[in-house]
């Protein structure tokens, strides 16, 4: 799947191929987070286009400001354009949204072998209550199929009704809606994460599921199925398990971790922040409704050994839970652990996309570094040791 980003923050125009594990790294302020925020913006639009553009850039845990703050170079005559393209079986399905100051465009296209099957374009004002329609007709073996699309969801009807024709129509509708469904299943783990309270009571859960109360409620609501899974991975990463303990006769509960070596249990808030935040990360990763999970710097507050364990756990989640990750990181330990998994044959090179983010004249570039089957990466990882290299050069100069 390819993510297209245009005029979004410091990104002028970039196509980024996403893999089951996509990792972006580079200096502070190079635009790594913008890659993750682009997907989250698409999700916001998919969930609720009926809001001013500033609402699309408000993620709950952070707001990027209004359109002027977000558009490249603050030039409001430009449009922020975000899109996804999926290539499969010789077909290319593309979903794009262009956001202007007060209006925008939705576009959906389906091409096969270079020939356009469907091309829909819908100019809309923002806020947009999803009340407009673009239509197309597609030929099939069972007669024409009529496509009606409101910029978010497509419906397909057989124009000459028959069971086969309707089945074909349903199949096409599922296919056309695949990208918007993917977008809706984007989950985000922000830098501000973890649990700061010893006890929780159940709250209602929003689609973005961000606050610690929401995460805690989600965990306690899914005590039977989710908690054992979180424990499984928590044990691999930090040798702890997770339990939800309810206060009898109340709706109050605590999230407790038990050290598997000592048997000592304590509330998450009383664990180090490393353990605390990993529970938050795992809850979001293992959420049944999460498909693509964006994680900002998962390594923070973790010992390098735990960082390595985390990388291995995430790779296992990709394999066994069919999740995909887009991860920003400053940790070479994290990246080296993933490369080691490629060398071990646990991850195929194509399943790991590595991008070095850097800025050229204020413009963000994501440079893909190809990974080979031996876990080597084209261009190496010098970016992580530039500062230390300066120290070595200085040292060598002194000794000379």
Q: List residues binding another protein (CB under 8 A).
A: 332, 336, 339, 370, 372, 374-382, 384-385, 388-389, 391-392, 395-396, 399-400
Burial label, 253 (beta-carbon count in 10 A; 0-12, 13-18, 19+): buried
Angle, alpha carbons 57-60-63 (nearest 5°): 40
Query: Closest distance between another protein and the C-beta of residue 183, in Å?
Result: 34
Query: Closest distance between another protein and the C-beta of residue 395, in Å?
Result: 5
Cβ pair 44, 31 in contact under 8 A: no
For residues 196 and 382, which CB has a smaller minimum distance to another protein in the complex? 382
Query: Closest distance between another protein and the C-beta of residue 387, in Å?
Result: 10
C-beta neighbour count of 58 within 10 angstroms = 17
Spatial distance between the Cα atoms of 279 and 230, rounded to a whole number of angstroms = 7
For residues 267 and 343, which CB has a smaller minimum distance to another protein in the complex? 343
Length in residues, the chain: 400
Query: Closest distance between another protein and the C-beta of residue 316, in Å?
Result: 23
Spatial distance between the Cα atoms of 308 and 312, rounded to a whole number of angstroms = 6
For residues 28 and 399, which CB has a smaller minimum distance to another protein in the complex? 399
Query: Closest distance between another protein and the C-beta of residue 390, in Å?
Result: 10
DSSP single-letter state for residue 58: B
Distances (CA, A) of 82 to 8, 46, 51, 153, 192: 8, 12, 17, 17, 25
For residue 22 the two structure tokens come to: 């996509």
Spatial distance between the Cα atoms of 295 and 299, rounded to a whole number of angstroms = 10
For residues 228 and 380, which CB has a smaller minimum distance to another protein in the complex? 380
Alpha helix stretches (DSSP H) within the chain: 32-47, 53-56, 67-70, 163-176, 178-184, 212-221, 226-238, 273-286, 304-321, 332-343, 386-399
For residues 135 and 400, which CB has a smaller minimum distance to another protein in the complex? 400
Cβ pair 195, 255 in contact under 8 A: yes
For residues 120 and 335, which CB has a smaller minimum distance to another protein in the complex? 335
Q: Is 8 helix (H, G, I), strand (E, B) or coil?
A: strand
For residues 290 and 354, which CB has a smaller minimum distance to another protein in the complex? 354
Query: Closest distance between another protein and the C-beta of residue 378, in Å?
Result: 5
For residues 176 and 339, which CB has a smaller minimum distance to another protein in the complex? 339
Of 176, 191, 200, 205, give the one whose Cα is nearest residue 95: 176
Cβ pair 323, 21 in contact under 8 A: no
Spatial distance between the Cα atoms of 109 and 92, rounded to a whole number of angstroms = 8
For residue 177 the two structure tokens come to: 């809606």
Query: Closest distance between another protein and the C-beta of residue 380, in Å?
Result: 3
Query: Closest distance between another protein and the C-beta of residue 392, in Å?
Result: 5
For residues 139 and 398, which CB has a smaller minimum distance to another protein in the complex? 398
Query: Closest distance between another protein and the C-beta of residue 376, in Å?
Result: 4
């Amino acid at each position: 799947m390819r993510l297209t980003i245009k005029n979004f923050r410091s990104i002028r125009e970039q196509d980024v191929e996403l893999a089951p594990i996509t990792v972006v790294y580079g200096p502070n302020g190079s635009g790594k987070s913008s890659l993750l925020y682009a997907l989250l913006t698409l999700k916001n639009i998919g969930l609720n286009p009926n809001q001013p553009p500033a609402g699309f850039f408000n993620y709950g845990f952070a707001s990027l400001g209004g359109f002027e703050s977000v558009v490249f170079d603050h030039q409001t005559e430009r449009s922020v354009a975000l899109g996804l393209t999926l290539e499969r079986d010789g077909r290319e399905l593309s979903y794009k949204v262009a956001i202007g100051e007060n209006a925008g465009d939705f576009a959906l296209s389906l091409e096969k072998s270079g020939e356009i099957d469907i091309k829909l374009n819908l100019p809309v004002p923002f806020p947009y209550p999803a009340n407009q329609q673009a239509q197309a007709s597609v030929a099939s073996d069972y007669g024409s199929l009529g496509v009606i699309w409101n910029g978010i969801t497509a419906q397909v009807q057989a124009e000459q009704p028959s069971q086969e024709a309707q089945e074909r129509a349903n199949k096409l509708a599922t296919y056309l809606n695949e990208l918007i469904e993917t977008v809706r299943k984007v989950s985000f783990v922000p830098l501000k994460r973890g649990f700061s309270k010893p006890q929780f009571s159940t709250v209602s859960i929003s689609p973005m599921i961000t606050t610690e109360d929401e995460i805690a409620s989600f965990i306690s609501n899914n005590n039977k199925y989710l908690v054992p899974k979180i424990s499984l991975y928590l044990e691999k990463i930090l040798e702890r398990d997770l339990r939800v303990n309810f206060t009898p006769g109340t709706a109050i509960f605590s999230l407790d971790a038990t050290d598997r070596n000592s048997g000592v249990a304590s509330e998450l808030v009383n664990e180090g922040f490393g353990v605390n935040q990993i529970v938050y990360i795992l809850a979001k990763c293992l959420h049944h409704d999460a498909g693509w999970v964006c994680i900002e710097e998962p390594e923070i507050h973790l010992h390098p050994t735990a960082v390595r364990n985390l990388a291995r756990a995430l790779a296992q989640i990709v394999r066994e839970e069919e999740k995909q990750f887009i991860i920003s990181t400053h940790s070479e330990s994290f990246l080296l652990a993933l490369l080691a998994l490629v060398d071990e044959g646990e991850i195929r090179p194509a399943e790991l996309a590595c991008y070095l983010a850097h800025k050229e004249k204020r413009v963000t570039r994501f440079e893909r570094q190809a990974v080979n089957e031996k876990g080597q990466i084209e261009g190496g990882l010098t970016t992580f040791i530039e500062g230390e290299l300066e120290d070595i050069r200085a040292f060598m100069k002194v000794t000379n």
